[in-house]
Amino acid sequence: MPAYHSIFLQDTDVRLIANFPLLPLRTRTRGPAYTLPALPSSTAAHESPDPDSESYDALDEVLSLYRANTFFRNFEIKGPADRLLIYGILTVGELLGKVPKVGGAREGEKALMNTALDNQFAIPGDAGFPLNQAFEAPRDRQDAETLRQYLSQVRQELAIRLLARLYAGNSSTPSKWWLSFTKRKFMGKSL
Are 86 and 75 contacting, i.e. CB atoms less than 8 angstroms apart? yes
**DSSP letters of 102-118?**
SS-HHHHHHHHHHHHH-
Q: What is the dihedral sign for C-alpha 7, 12, 15, 17?
A: positive
Residues paired with 17 in a beta bridge: 20
Mean pLDDT of 124-140: 90
Model pLDDT for residues 22-44, shown as the tens digit of each residue: 999 998 888 898 888 887 776 76
Model pLDDT for residues 56-110, shown as the tens digit of each residue: 899 999 999 988 888 888 888 999 999 999 999 999 999 998 888 777 888 888 9
> What stretch of H or E contains 176?
helix 176-179
d(CA 137, CA 121): 15
